[in-house]
A and B are shown apart, each in its own frame.
Chain A
Amino acid sequence: MARIDVNHVRHSYLPNPQKDADFALREVHHTFEDGGAYALLGPSGCGKTTLLNIISGLLHPSHGELLFNGKDVTNLSTQERNIAQVFQFPVIYDTMTVYDNLAFPLRNRGVPEADVDRKVRETLEMIDLASWAKKKARGLTADQKQKISLGRGLVRSDVNAILFDEPLTVIDPHMKWVLRSQLKQLHRRFGYTMVYVTHDQTEALTFADQVVVMYDGGIVQIGTPAELFERPRHTFVGYFIGSPGMNVMPVAIEGKTATIGSQRIELPGAPRTAAGNSGAIELGIRPEYVRLGRDGMAVKVSKVEDLGRHKVVRASLEGREIAAVIGEDESVPAEPKVLFDPAGINIYADSWRVEMGA
Chain B
Amino acid sequence: MEKTWNNKAWFMVLPVLLLVAFSAVIPLMTVVNYSVQDTFGNNVFFWNGSDWFTEILESERFWLSMVRNLIFSFIILAIEVPLGIFIALNMPKKGWGVPVCLVLMALPLLIPWNVVGTIWQVFGRIDIGLLGYTLSALGFDYNYVNDPTDAWVTVILMDVWHWTSLVVLLCYAGLVSIPDAYYQAAKIDGASRWAIFRYIQLPKMNRVLLIAVLLRFMDSFMIYTEPFVVTGGGPGNSTTFLSIDLVKIAIGQFDLGPAAAMSIIYFLIILLLSWVFYTVMTNVDAER
* Residues of A bordering B, CB below 8 Å: 56-58, 77-79, 83-85, 87-89, 91, 93-96, 104-105, 108-109, 149, 152-153
Contacts and interface: CB of A to CB of B under 8 A. Distances in A.
Given A89-B179, A91-B181, A77 B189 contact: no
Given A93-B199, A95-B199, A95-B203, A79 B181 contact: no
Contacts of A85: 184-185, 188
Given A91-B181, A91-B182, A108-B195, A77 B203 contact: no
Interface in B154-200: 179, 181-182, 184-185, 187-192, 195, 199-200
Given A58-B184, A104-B189, 19 more contacts: A78-B184, A78-B187, A78-B188, A79-B188, A83-B188, A87-B184, A87-B185, A89-B179, A91-B181, A91-B182, A93-B199, A94-B203, A95-B199, A104-B191, A104-B195, A108-B191, A108-B195, A109-B190, A153-B188
11 contacts: A56-B184, A58-B184, A79-B187, A85-B184, A85-B188, A87-B185, A91-B181, A91-B185, A96-B199, A108-B189, A152-B185
Q: Which of B185, B195, B199 has the most A CB atoms < 10 Å from its CB?
A: B185
Interface residues of B, number: 15
Contact of A108 (B181, B184, B190, B200): B190
B189 A152 contact: yes
B283 to A, nearest CB: 15
B199 to A, nearest CB: 5
Contacts of B184: 56, 58, 78, 85, 87, 91
Contacts, number: 52
Contacts of A94: 203
Contacts of B200: 93
B121 to A, nearest CB: 45
Q: Would you list the 4 A-B pairs with minimal beta carbon distance, nearest first?
A: A91-B185, A105-B189, A108-B190, A87-B181
Contacts of B199: 93, 95-96, 104
A94 B182 CA distance: 11
Secondary structure at the B interface, as helix, strand, loop or mixed, is helix
A108 B196 CA distance: 11
Interface of B: 179, 181-182, 184-185, 187-192, 195, 199-200, 203
A94 B187 CA distance: 17
A149 B190 CA distance: 14
Nearest to A110: B190
A76 to B, nearest CB: 12
Contacts of A79: 187-188, 190
Contacts of B189: 104-105, 108, 152
Contacts of A95: 199, 203
Contacts of B187: 57-58, 77-79
Contacts of A91: 179, 181-182, 184-185
B189 to A, nearest CB: 4
A91 B186 CA distance: 9
A94 B184 CA distance: 16
Q: Which of B185, B189, B199, B200 has the most A CB atoms < 10 Å from its CB?
A: B189
B181 A88 contact: yes
A88 B192 CA distance: 23
A149 B187 CA distance: 13
Contacts of A57: 187
A153 B187 CA distance: 12
Contacts of A78: 184, 187-188
Contacts of A93: 199-200, 203
Nearest to B179: A89
Contacts of A89: 179, 181
Contacts of A88: 181
Contacts of A87: 181, 184-185
Contacts of B191: 104, 108
Contact of B190 (A56, A58, A96, A105): A105
A94 B181 CA distance: 14
Q: Which of B181, B191, B200 has the most A CB atoms < 10 Å from its CB?
A: B181
A85 B181 CA distance: 10
